[in-house]
Amino acid sequence: MQSATTKPRVFSGIQPSGGLHLGNYLGAIRNWVRDQDKYDNIFCIVDLHTITVPQDPAALRENTLDLAAVYLASGISKTQAMFIQSHIPAHAELAWILECFVPMGWLERMTQFKEKSGRERERSSAGLFAYPALMAADILLYDTRYVPVGEDQRQHIELTRDVAQRMNQRFGELFTLPEPMIQAAGARIMGLDDPQKKMSKSLAAEAPGHAIFILDAPEVVRRKLARAQTDAQPEVRFPAGPGVTNLLEIYRTIQGKDWATVEKEFGGKSYSVLKTAVADAVIEALTPIQQRYREIRTDDAALVQHLRGAAERLTPTANTTLRRVQEAVGLR
Ligand code: AMP
Ligand code: TRP
């Protein structure tokens, strides 16, 4: 049951649904890179979750490699386990078994399902409904201790714990109970076009000026920031409104500066001075990532080989858990 290292096992899952933005980078990826040596990490690219809503096959393939390449380019070490969910069949196999132990009522209460299915409930896929059971399988297969997620995923981790406990009670100690690892005070980057809303992939799809993407070219970054919402005041003044605060937050997070410093730096300055400084900082942070990304994507075969290699190394661990469960329920 114990992993080979003494570091706690962390499992994180990210959907290859395209368009990683500055919020994902500053709020998540950058912290994972910073903390990667503290944990025994598994970074899973959850393509099976992505197909719970309609996808263009070519785009899915592309987004999957993009995500892997952006991770490596951002500084996730090649020694960390990063793999594609569908490369390890045990995920789908355990998910099925868990689905047979998760009551419909639990799944019906999931807010993400309610939001994603919306008024199209009858037409949304059975996969979208069963999604939390697949996520539970991802986590439970590796005896995970911590799962870094956003607040929105807390309910799914609770369901994971509930189904694990239910099966442990019935069959003995099958699973390690995971805990969510939710950033206490991570960056919360807001939309450039509307600083009342969190920067998100879905809003970005509707309004191109909403988000800066990690792979945006410098001139695109400048254009989006030039149009970002500010305040009705003639210059930067404190307390600043949400638009200016968001720009300062982006700047501050990238530069690692505290509020007092940025207030002194920009108080009384024009919005264009602020926006230029934010653009410079964002471009400086993203340019090396984009360069490494392009290098990595020139050799997709090597990237796929890397992902396959990680999947091969993880498969025995996943299969050990799967077998334990299969035996417990009477499937072998
Ligand atoms: P998502 O794109 O919602 O699946 O989020 C992936 C990761 O990025 C999660 O850890 C989120 O908490 C983080 N994240 C998403 N949007 C933002 C944002 N606007 N600001 C900060 N972190 C974010
Ligand atoms: N549901 C998660 C999200 O949309 C993605 C995910 C799938 C995940 N499996 C996971 C996250 C396992 C953490 C652990 O963000």
Best residue for ligand 2 mutational test, from 83, 156, 202 (most atoms within 8 Å of Cβ): 156
As beta bridge partners, residue 198 has 190
- Say yes or no: CB of residue 278 within 6 Å of ligand 2: no
- Say yes or no: CB of residue 15 within 6 Å of ligand 2: yes
pTM, 2 dp: 0.92
- Say yes or no: CB of residue 199 within 6 Å of ligand 1: yes
Write the CA distances from 319 to 31, 91, 155, 168, integer angstroms.
30, 9, 26, 18
Residue for token pair 């409904």: 129
Asked if 168 and 175 touch (Cβ cutoff 8 Å), the reply is yes
Distance (Å, whole) CA 131 – CA 49 = 7
Residue 231, pLDDT score: 85
Asked if 197 and 190 touch (Cβ cutoff 8 Å), the reply is yes
- Say yes or no: CB of residue 149 within 6 Å of ligand 2: yes
Residue 120, pLDDT score: 86
pLDDT tops 60 at residue 257: yes
Using the atom order of ligand 1, give the atom closest to the CA of residue 15: 4
Question: CB 68: neighbour CB atoms within 10 A?
Answer: 26
Q: Which has more confidence, 151 or 304?
A: 304
How many CA atoms are closer than 13 Å to the CA of 115, on its beta-carbon side? 6
Active-site amino acid positions: 116, 198, 201
Q: Which has more confidence, 172 or 1?
A: 172
Instruction: Kindly state the DSSP code that residue 176 receives in the 8-state scheme.
Output: P
- Relative to beta strand 81-84, strand 40-45 is parallel
Distance (Å, whole) CA 331 – CA 275 = 61
The predicted-structure confidence for 200-242, as pLDDT tens digits, reads as follows 988 998 999 999 999 999 999 999 999 999 988 889 999 999 9
Best residue for ligand 1 mutational test, from 11, 12, 21, 24 (most atoms within 8 Å of Cβ): 24
Domain boundaries, the chain: 9-183+300-329, 201-293
- Say yes or no: CB of residue 27 within 6 Å of ligand 1: yes
pLDDT tops 60 at residue 88: yes
Question: CB 155: neighbour CB atoms within 10 A?
Answer: 17
Asked if 104 and 82 touch (Cβ cutoff 8 Å), the reply is no
Which numeric CATH code is attached to 201-293? 1.10.240.10
Write the CA distances from 57 to 47, 163, 187, 296, integer angstroms.
11, 32, 33, 22
Residue 54, pLDDT score: 95
Starting at the edge strand that comes first in sequence, how are the strands of the sheet with 146-148 ordered?
81-84, 40-45, 9-14, 146-148, 179-181
Average confidence (pLDDT) over 259-278: 96
Distance (Å, whole) CA 25 – CA 79 = 20
The predicted-structure confidence for 169-195, as pLDDT tens digits, reads as follows 999 999 999 999 987 656 789 999 999
Asked if 281 and 22 touch (Cβ cutoff 8 Å), the reply is no
- Say yes or no: CB of residue 133 within 6 Å of ligand 2: no
- Relative to beta strand 179-181, strand 40-45 is unpaired
- Ligand index nearest the alpha carbon of residue 112: 2
Which numeric CATH code is attached to 9-183+300-329? 3.40.50.620
* Distance between Cα 276 and ligand 1 center (Å): 25
The predicted-structure confidence for 4-59, as pLDDT tens digits, reads as follows 568 999 999 999 998 899 999 998 899 899 999 999 999 999 999 999 999 999 99
Using the atom order of ligand 1, give the atom closest to the CA of residue 201: 2
Distance (Å, whole) CA 301 – CA 296 = 10
pLDDT tops 90 at residue 295: yes
Residue 164's SS3 state is helix
Residue for token pair 């077998």: 323
Asked if 182 and 150 touch (Cβ cutoff 8 Å), the reply is yes
What is the rounded average pLDDT for all residues in the chain?
A: 94
The predicted-structure confidence for 93-142, as pLDDT tens digits, reads as follows 999 999 999 999 999 999 999 988 888 889 999 999 999 999 999 999 99
